[in-house]
Amino acid sequence: MIKAHSQRVLQPYSAQVQIAESDHARALSMDGDLWEFHFIYANHRGGKTSTARQQGRFTRAAHIRRRDFEKVIENPVTDDGQVDQRILDLATFLIGAQLPFEASDRYEYWLLDPKDCSPLALIFSCVEASEMASFPKLTDWAALPAAVMPIETTEAERNRSYGPVNYRLERCVAERAGPKPRAQWFTRRFNEDEDFPPFLVREEWENEEHQDLCQRYLHRQAPRLLMLHGVSLEARRRMELAAKANALDVVRFYPLYPEIVDHEVMDKIRIEARLRMAAGETAYAMGRRDGVLYQ
């Protein structure tokens, strides 16, 4: 039996990874196109079987694009030999699967605002309550690296040799958390009306410079943030408009958007992306590793 779900890649947040998993293998994708297949091996001790999945032991087996699934299934022989049946079973499932998969990581570990102990920034999330104890008691929030998601700086910032927006926002969050930062696990259910930042970091700042840094970071991250589940229509519309500035990233992650508020805006973004790609342009992250590995 194959089960499918999605969850956020943290930290830092870089995508809503899609996961299809059987008893012996799994397939992961950050964009719905390129899928990474892992084998799960079992250890036998004293007559009992302890699955490698429980121990977190996975072996990377192959990378296959979704458009090639049928070709692999029809001709499961490569230069390296016969394609493993575990890969064929997952590929067959994925051909008929509807993306994105339902989000399942409702256990969330948040850095807290010391003023009122409200959620300030999301550090971790997990699917099972039993997994919470395996995470470190971390109180540092990390932004997506500038090497993965560069954010344009102003001329004034360059003249003053300011660092990337990503790391300056990290410092802002750390300063706001205070000298003795605290973090806490919460159990969430998507689509409930709760006071959690919809885009995983608090957007209201008293300092105007910090407010600007936060908005610039989130607007650049908008194509990835639109993969999140449980976001209100108003908040989603705001990020759809922000995503216009990075059309090539939008077209990459678009298949994993759980909802579209303004189809006209999205259609225009995708048309622009197709024209730019036809002219030879590629998204910054294409051909690069996203910098975060799902474990």
Q: What is the pLDDT of residues 157-179, one digit of tens each?
A: 888 889 999 999 999 999 999 99
pTM, entire model: 0.87
Spell out the residues 6+ positions from residue 167 whose beta carbon is closer than 8 angstroms to its own.
Answer: 143, 146
Residue for token digits 């039996």? 1
Place 76 in a pLDDT band, splitting at 50, 70 and 90.
confident
The fraction of the chain above a pLDDT of 90, given in percent, is 72
**Mean pLDDT value of segment 139-168:** 92
Residue 191: Cβ within 10 Å count: 10
What's the DSSP call for residue 215?
A: H
The fraction of the chain above a pLDDT of 70, given in percent, is 87
Burial class, 285, CB count within 10 angstroms (exposed 0-12 / middle 13-18 / buried 19+): buried
Residue 230: which region, alpha, beta or left (left: phi > 0; alpha: psi -120 to 50)?
left
Residue 2: Cβ within 10 Å count: 16
- pLDDT at residue 270, as a whole number: 95
In single-letter form, the type of residue at position 44 comes to H
Q: Nearest 5°: CA angle at 282, between 27 and 229?
A: 45
**Looking at the predicted structure, is the pLDDT value of residue 46 above 80?**
no
Q: Quick: pLDDT tens for 3-42.
A: 999 999 998 999 999 999 998 899 999 999 999 999 887 5
- pLDDT at residue 84, as a whole number: 85
- pLDDT at residue 164, as a whole number: 94
Closest to 62 measured CA to CA, from 44, 41, 80, 43 = 80
**Looking at the predicted structure, is the pLDDT value of residue 54 above 50?**
no
- pLDDT at residue 192, as a whole number: 56
Residue 228: Cβ within 10 Å count: 23
- In whole angstroms, what is the distance from residue 252 CA to residue 274 CA? 11
Closest to 94 measured CA to CA, from 44, 38, 21 = 21
Residue 168 half-sphere exposure, CB side, CA atoms within 13 Å? 18
- In whole angstroms, what is the distance from residue 236 CA to residue 247 CA? 16
Average confidence score pLDDT of the chain: 87
- In whole angstroms, what is the distance from residue 295 CA to residue 285 CA? 20
- pLDDT at residue 295, as a whole number: 39
**Looking at the predicted structure, is the pLDDT value of residue 143 above 80?**
yes
**Looking at the predicted structure, is the pLDDT value of residue 93 above 70?**
yes
Place 263 in a pLDDT band, splitting at 50, 70 and 90.
very high
What's the DSSP call for residue 280?
A: T
**Looking at the predicted structure, is the pLDDT value of residue 190 above 80?**
no
- pLDDT at residue 60, as a whole number: 84
- pLDDT at residue 52, as a whole number: 37
Place 194 in a pLDDT band, splitting at 50, 70 and 90.
low
Contact status, residue 189 vs residue 196, Cβ threshold 8 Å = no
- pLDDT at residue 250, as a whole number: 95
- In whole angstroms, what is the distance from residue 250 CA to residue 273 CA? 8
Residue for token digits 């999945």? 53
**Looking at the predicted structure, is the pLDDT value of residue 253 above 50?**
yes
